[in-house]
Structures are given as C-alpha cells and as structure tokens.
A and B are shown apart, each in its own frame.
Chain A
Amino acid sequence: MYYYVKKYFRSILTSIVLVISLVMTIFTTINVARINSIGDSTDTNKKIGYKYSIDFRVHKINMEESENLEYEDTIDDLNESIVKEFSNNDFIELLSIFSCNTIQYVEMNAGEGVSKTDVEMYIGNSEIIELPLVKGTIDFEVDKLVAVIGNDLVDYVYEENNKEMINLNDIPFEVGGVLKTTSPSGKDNRIIVSYENMKRFLQDYQLDRIVNYDYFPEYCVCTNDSEMKLESDLEKINEYLNSVNCYFEIDEVARMMDIEYLYSVIGKNVVKLINIVCFFNVFLVVLIWIKHKNKEFAIRKTFGYSTLRIYGQVIYEYMKCFVLAVILSVILQIIYSFIKSIPLDLSIYVSNGNIKTIIYTFVILIVELLVNVLYISKIETINGMKSK
C-alpha cells in the first residue's frame, strides 16, 4: 500500500500538503464564483439569500393644478391597473407592507352590539412599528390572529377563554396590546395587524384600498430578496404610477441594509480574502515542494537531463496533484451543497463572469508553478547537490 501511494505521489507529505492547498484554493474559487453569480441570476433560489430594503415615497403630481384629473378616478385607475397586472397581490404587498393607511368601514362587533367604525389601520410587524403601548406587546405571529388596538376600541373587547378578544369583520382577533394615545384629542382608533392577518379579514377587493392617498405622502418600506428584484419591482411601480400621474421617489439616504444582507456582504468578502490567501499559500507550498525536489533535479542534471525534461517532470507531477485536487474540490462542493441546500446547478458556477474567474484561477495556479520552476533552473547543479 505504502509502496503504491509513494509511487503515485513520490514525496507523500509535500504532495498531500500541495493537494490540500490546491483543494482549498479551488474550493474557495468555486464559492467565489457561486457568490458572484448572484448578480447575474434571476432565479431567487440561486441567490445566496441576502435581503435588501429600500425606503420610498409616493407622490401625486400637481394634483391642484390639473383640474381635469379627478381624484377618485386617479385612485381607481391606479387600483384597477394594480389589480389587473398583479393578480397575486405582489404589488400591493410591496406597497403596503409596513405602511400606514386609513381603512374605512371595518366592522367592529363585540357581543351584542355591531358597529361600523372608521379606523386608522397600520399593517406591519413589530420590527418596523415602534409605537408606545399601554399594555401588551406588538408581537405578531404568522398563524395567529393578533391585533394591537387604540384606546377607543377597548369598548369592543370581550373576554373568551381568559383571553381578550376583538372581532374585526366577524373574525375574532386576540388583543395583543393597547396603544398609548399620542394625539392631543385623546382619540385613538388605530388597529395594528400583520399583513398576513389583514388579508384574512379584508377581502381582496378591500385590499386594493390600502393604496390610499388620504395619507400623503405615502411612506413605504419594501423588502426583497435581492437588489435586482427590488429594482425591477420599483421599475414596474414607476410605470404604473406614471400612468396615473403619480411618481415616486427613492429615498436613497434611507436605503438600508438588512442585517442578513450585511452579513452576506462581509461573508462574501471574507471568502474572497480567503481565496487570495489560498493562492498565496499554494505559491509557498509549491516553493517548498520544489525545494524538496531540488536535489533530485541536481542529480538528474548530473546524468545529463535537459532542463526542459526536468520542467516536464515537475509539471507532470504537479498536474497529478492538480487533477486530484479538482476532483476532490468538486466532491467537496457537492457535499457542501447538500449541507447548505444549494441547488446542484452548473449554471450557477459557469455564468458569464465566472468563466473568467475560473480561467484566471487555473492560469494563476499554473503561473505559480512556472515561477517556481524557473527558480529551480537558476540553481546550479553543484549547489543543488549540496541541498538536503
């Protein structure tokens, strides 16, 4: 066994170190390529999963000046086009998540009495809305109907199973908390529910009204999986708003990064840095490897081997390690993909920019060898013989 391993590798230790350093380099390069491909890919599954948030405001343009533009029409036009084009409510979600809107005609009922109430409605989650509370918390869970209510709505609260409940459009919600009134009048008829919950008690047709220009300017924060998708969404929004004489402004200053996105940016650069360190590492290992072979080359020279022939032999042995390293790296990447549930799709790695990355890698790794090979040719035979 030892005999055959030795025969394949010649100098086992240095070869193994060389293979490991090559695997590290190729593996990190593969992953740099994968990370790079995020920009090119349109399939969200392929992205490394970073979030991007952006703040924007929607304005109506010259409402007062354009007399022939009916206010109601504008809203209707907008809603219609939205509903038409975004059947899955994507657009509405985009515009309304975490936004503040006034929704009219939410039916409130508590026990015996039924009342239609004008309520100011906030749709969002606890991360975004930081409103002071008298009691409770703003803590929304996706599959639990929870509402945080204003003072005025406390009358509608009833108790059931030791829980405080409120019916919104006949759907019972648990009262998660009560808001602290900030308005001077002391009147507070706000309701805060999560977007998902809101969809349950507002019918789809009512959803349209979330885009409401009473509250002006509209303030939206939208989050998305990627910068790319966000930009394209914003483009679509722009188109529609233009068609109804509205426009929106991206508040560039307020562009904020999701913490996950930040991590992925750091991670991305760390991977690149490690990749560079790996290249350097290969250089050093090849240097040691060549030095180890120094005496061998000198001995060969005393038997009249030509320099070219010695180069050929070095390159051949390096290639053996190199091919092995490529195979190991691919296997490692497959295992890694399973662990990290990254799709096994070649197109992730060989997108336009990455072909270059991969070619550069191979070229650099070969050049690193050749530089070292040139170094051996500088050593005289006699000095080579003396080296241990």
Chain B
Amino acid sequence: MIKLENIVKTYGSKENRTYAVNEVSMNIDDGEFVSIMGKSGSGKSTILNIIGCIDSATSGTYYVDDICVSDMSIGKRKKFLRENISFIFQDFALIDDYTVYENIEVPLIAKGKSRKEKKATIKKYMNMMGIEKLARKYPNQISGGEKQRCAIARALASGNSIILADEPTGALDSENSKNVIEILKQVNKLGKTVIVVTHDINVANATNRIVKLKDGRIVE
C-alpha cells in the first residue's frame, strides 16, 4: 500500500516560493488502478515523480507497505526504485540508440538477471504487446503507438509491482489511446498497482478511482 502524508513540494526561495504540491495526503491500495487529473501545472507530475522516487518532497512522509521511503538514503531509494517501480512516459522515454529489444532489456540489466531469464522475459512481454516483429528496430523506425507499447513492455519486464504512467496517451491518436487504455487495464488485472496521470477523461473513466488536483491540493 502506498501512503502519502502531508507531502509538500516547493520551488524557489522564500520571497517567491511556489507550491507545486501542497499538503497532499492519500492512500493507494495494492492492485488499485488510480488516475490523477487536474489542470496543467496543478502538480500531477510532481506527485507522480515523488511516488516514483525520482524527485523528493520538501516535507511530508511517504510509505510503501509501511516502509518509510522518504527517509531512505539515496542508494537505498535507488534500490527501492529498481525493485518496485516502473515508469511510462508521455514521450515514451525510449533510448534512441538502442533497439526495441535492448530498450526492454534495460530494467533487466539493472536487476542483474541472467541472459536466459532476460531473453524469456523480453520475448514474453513483446508477444503480449504484439511487437515481437520489431525487436531489431530502433525507436525512430517505429510508430508512436508501437513506441508506447514498447515502453509498456519495458515497464512490465521489470516485474515491478507499481506502474506509474505520466500521460501515457498524451502523444497518441484516439485509436492508439484506446489500445493503451486496454493494455493498462490488462496490466492492472495482472495485479499491479497502476497510477495514471492524465488529461484524458476516457483514460480516467477506465480507472477505479479518480483523484483531482488543483493548485497542488487534492480537491476530491
């Protein structure tokens, strides 16, 4: 279970301090499919990044399964990130110089998996996403929808239980968006906790719960 308590994130010095996230507290159960909505600049990405340990809160505490993540040292937090969290981004965040196969391999290398294990895992998720034919292609050789499926395959290949998606359909057409929504639903059914930041009401409607943010605060 993810538990945020009075998370505050500020930018700037005393005089012109901006609150990106202001006193946010919420709980997300294991296996939940949650969407975070709000206007641009309302702090959605900031919250997601704090949960994903690639950003740290100015104050407040953050627990996962009663382990206090916000108190962890940098090294420990990296380890926690490696073993629990996977990201999906709006711009796919694929490494341009790596093939689809190698991109999916990235989290597996981080975990120090054996060659055989890596191969089997990558194959499995490529098949699941229907991109097995693209293994040797580079990101600039495939379409946006394919890129996002590749990114999702990579997130799943890590085997982590928390999937964080920051506007995963933001750069896709409606066809591909629907596809991604379906995939995310499927992923959630695999028992993973999925948190989606989105502008797209269709995406939000597909989730179990919608959290609305305004000016860094939860409004409902």
Residues of A within 8 A of B (CB): 3, 6-7, 10-11, 295-296, 299-306, 309, 381-382, 385
A302 CB contacts on chain B under 8 angstroms: 52, 54, 81, 87, 93
In the complex formed, the residue of A with least CB distance to B108 is: A303
- Interface pair B95/A299, CB less than 8 Å apart: yes
Known: A296-B95, A304-B85. 8 other contacts (CB 8 A): A10-B97, A11-B97, A295-B95, A296-B96, A303-B158, A304-B80, A305-B78, A382-B49
With A and B bound together, what is the CA distance between A58 and B155 in angstroms? 90
With A and B bound together, what is the CA distance between A306 and B109 in angstroms? 12
- Interface pair A6/B97, CB less than 8 Å apart: yes
In the complex formed, the residue of A with least CB distance to B55 is: A382
B12 CB contacts on chain A under 8 angstroms: none
Point out the residue from A295, A296, A300 that lies within 8 Å of B110, measured CB to CB: A300
With A and B bound together, what is the CA distance between A10 and B97 in angstroms? 5
Is B136 interfacial (CB-CB < 8 Å)? yes
With A and B bound together, what is the CA distance between A135 and B193 in angstroms? 108
- Interface pair A301/B95, CB less than 8 Å apart: no
Query: Smallest distance from the beta carbon of A309 to chain B beta carbons, Å?
Result: 8
A301 CB contacts on chain B under 8 angstroms: 54
Tally of contacts, chain A with chain B, CB under 8 A:
58
Of the A-B pairs whose beta carbons lie under 8 Å apart in the complex, a sample of 12, sorted by A's number, is: A11-B97, A295-B93, A299-B94, A299-B95, A303-B81, A304-B78, A304-B81, A304-B83, A304-B110, A306-B78, A309-B110, A381-B54
A7 CB contacts on chain B under 8 angstroms: 99
B52 CB contacts on chain A under 8 angstroms: 302
- Interface pair B106/A300, CB less than 8 Å apart: yes
Is B86 interfacial (CB-CB < 8 Å)? yes
In the complex formed, the residue of A with least CB distance to B154 is: A303
Interface centre among B85, B89, B96, B158, by most A CB within 10 Å?
B96
With A and B bound together, what is the CA distance between A302 and B106 in angstroms? 10
With A and B bound together, what is the CA distance between A305 and B105 in angstroms? 13
- Interface pair B86/A303, CB less than 8 Å apart: yes
- Interface pair B110/A305, CB less than 8 Å apart: yes
Query: Smallest distance from the beta carbon of B186 to chain A beta carbons, Å?
Result: 22
- Interface pair B136/A304, CB less than 8 Å apart: no
Is B82 interfacial (CB-CB < 8 Å)? yes
B94 CB contacts on chain A under 8 angstroms: 299
Query: Smallest distance from the beta carbon of B20 to chain A beta carbons, Å?
Result: 11
Point out the residue from A6, A299, A306 that lies within 8 Å of B93, measured CB to CB: A299
- Interface pair B89/A385, CB less than 8 Å apart: yes
Q: Which of B93-124 contact A (CB under 8 A)?
A: 93-99, 106-107, 110
- Interface pair A3/B82, CB less than 8 Å apart: no
Is B79 interfacial (CB-CB < 8 Å)? yes
In the complex formed, the residue of B with least CB distance to A12 is: B97
With A and B bound together, what is the CA distance between A38 and B46 in angstroms? 64
B63 CB contacts on chain A under 8 angstroms: none
With A and B bound together, what is the CA distance between A7 and B105 in angstroms? 14
The verdict on A304 contacting B55 (CB below 8 Å), with A6-B97, A299-B95 known, is no
With A and B bound together, what is the CA distance between A303 and B108 in angstroms? 9
Q: Which of B12-53 contact A (CB under 8 A)?
A: 49, 52
Query: Smallest distance from the beta carbon of A107 to chain B beta carbons, Å?
Result: 87
Interface centre among B81, B95, B96, B97, by most A CB within 10 Å?
B97
Contact with A along B141-165 (1 / 0, CB 8 A): 0000000000000000010000000
With A and B bound together, what is the CA distance between A306 and B136 in angstroms? 27
Point out the residue from A3, A296, A303 that lies within 8 Å of B136, measured CB to CB: A3
- Interface pair B106/A385, CB less than 8 Å apart: no
With A and B bound together, what is the CA distance between A7 and B55 in angstroms? 32
Query: Smallest distance from the beta carbon of B106 to chain A beta carbons, Å?
Result: 6
Q: Which of B51-86 contact A (CB under 8 A)?
A: 52, 54-55, 75, 78-83, 85-86
B98 CB contacts on chain A under 8 angstroms: 10, 296
In the complex formed, the residue of A with least CB distance to B94 is: A299
A6 CB contacts on chain B under 8 angstroms: 97, 138
Query: Smallest distance from the beta carbon of B194 to chain A beta carbons, Å?
Result: 16
With A and B bound together, what is the CA distance between A382 and B95 in angstroms? 15
B87 CB contacts on chain A under 8 angstroms: 302-303
Query: Smallest distance from the beta carbon of B216 to chain A beta carbons, Å?
Result: 17
B97 CB contacts on chain A under 8 angstroms: 6, 10-11, 296
In the complex formed, the residue of A with least CB distance to B80 is: A304
With A and B bound together, what is the CA distance between A302 and B99 in angstroms? 18
Query: Smallest distance from the beta carbon of B212 to chain A beta carbons, Å?
Result: 23
In the complex formed, the residue of A with least CB distance to B151 is: A299
- Interface pair A299/B138, CB less than 8 Å apart: no
With A and B bound together, what is the CA distance between A6 and B89 in angstroms? 25
With A and B bound together, what is the CA distance between A10 and B103 in angstroms? 12
Give me the 3 closest cross-chain CB pairs, A-B, nearest first: A304-B82, A10-B97, A304-B81
B136 CB contacts on chain A under 8 angstroms: 3
In the complex formed, the residue of A with least CB distance to B82 is: A304
With A and B bound together, what is the CA distance between A382 and B89 in angstroms? 12
Q: Which of B153-179 contact A (CB under 8 A)?
A: 158
Query: Smallest distance from the beta carbon of B214 to chain A beta carbons, Å?
Result: 22
In the complex formed, the residue of A with least CB distance to B155 is: A303
With A and B bound together, what is the CA distance between A88 and B71 in angstroms? 88
Query: Smallest distance from the beta carbon of B43 to chain A beta carbons, Å?
Result: 13
Query: Smallest distance from the beta carbon of A320 to chain B beta carbons, Å?
Result: 13
Query: Smallest distance from the beta carbon of A2 to chain B beta carbons, Å?
Result: 9
In the complex formed, the residue of A with least CB distance to B89 is: A385
